[in-house]
Homo-oligomer: A and B are copies of this chain.
Amino acid sequence: MEAKSLKIALIGTGNVAWHIANAFTQTAHQIVEVYGRNIQNTNEFAGNLNALVKDSLNFKESQAEIILLAVSDNALPEIIAQMQLNSNQIVAHTSGSTPITIFDALPCKANFGVFYPLQTFSKTKQVNIQEVPFCIEGNSTETATCLKSLAEAISRKVFLISSEERLKLHLAAVFANNFVNHLLGISQEILQKENLSFELLRPLIQETFAKAMEAENIYAIQTGPARRNDQIIIQKHLQLLQNEAYKQKIYEIISESIRQKS
């Protein structure tokens, strides 16, 4: 069975928009219009896709059936308040932490939903979008089904997820991505100050991830001085961090939290 080919308008020209647009070029669906803040970026972006540049948020006469909002969370309220849609169109945002109820502010009657790719994107780095989980939500079963089938054209991992679940998923993602990245940054900084190569830690870091991804209970595989409550080493480490208030606080609070779970 061949899926219906859908016409998509894309609002935004950032990392998420770029990866989504790229993915759709491999499918029967088509990006027909692009709207962006920066005219030069938008022209270039739309040119690469053979799409039209849209200069307003009025889509009433547009041929687009789906309008995807790939903009920063902060920009969503203002954009949504300006949108004009007809009742056959679906508008969906790509945010992890914004509830579907943000569309209650739409100045027109339309179908709406969420089309959230759970991944960190940068333009310079290829991502296998087939493996990126897409979290879908719709204001009706029909809308959700349509957005789901759209996501399935580019990803093998598509899930119906409520706004409440998506917010918790996003919180979990902040710990696993944003905060882990920061800790790895601290580790790299400590070594660089000693002129030691961060490469020394590569096998350890690989093993850390491999083990965690296999563990039914990650707390149960915890090791290290905090797990053993080895106060001699903990105090030595805190001493090394004595002029680094934030690193010291992070060391203390995570060590306490590890002890709580031990």
Using a CB–CB distance below 8 Å, which chain A residues touch chain B?
A: 72-74, 97, 118-120, 122, 125, 127-128, 131-133, 157, 159, 161, 165, 167-191, 193-194, 196, 200-209, 211-213, 217-219, 221-228, 230, 232-233, 236-237, 240-241, 246-247, 249-251, 253-254, 256-258, 260-261
**Given contact pairs A118-B203, A191-B169, A212 touches B196 in the complex (Cβ within 8 A):** no
A252 to B54, CA, bound (A): 41
Contact B211 A120 (CB under 8 A): yes
* Contact between chains at A254 and B118 (CB < 8 Å): no
Other A-B pairs beyond A177-B205, A182-B258, 7, CB < 8 Å:
A72-B228, A172-B191, A174-B224, A175-B190, A176-B204, A184-B218, A188-B218
Copies of this polypeptide in the complex: 2
Question: Given A73-B233, A181-B208, does the pair A118, B257 have CB atoms closer than 8 Å?
Answer: no
Contact of A201 among B118, B165, B207 (CB under 8 A): B118
Asked if residues B201 and A125 are in contact (CB atoms below 8 Å), the reply is no
A246 lies within 8 A of B253 (CB): yes
Of A119, A127, A175, A241, the most chain B CB neighbours within 10 A belong to A175
Across the interface, A257 reaches (CB within 8 A) one of B182, B193, B218, B221, namely: B182
Q: How many Å lie between the Cα of A170 and that of B204 in the bound state?
A: 11
Provide the residues of chain B in CB contact with A249, threshold 8 Å. Answer: 253, 257
Closest-CB distance, A181 to chain B (whole angstroms): 6
Contact B172 A201 (CB under 8 A): yes
Distance in angstroms between the alpha carbons of A180 and B180 in the assembled complex: 6
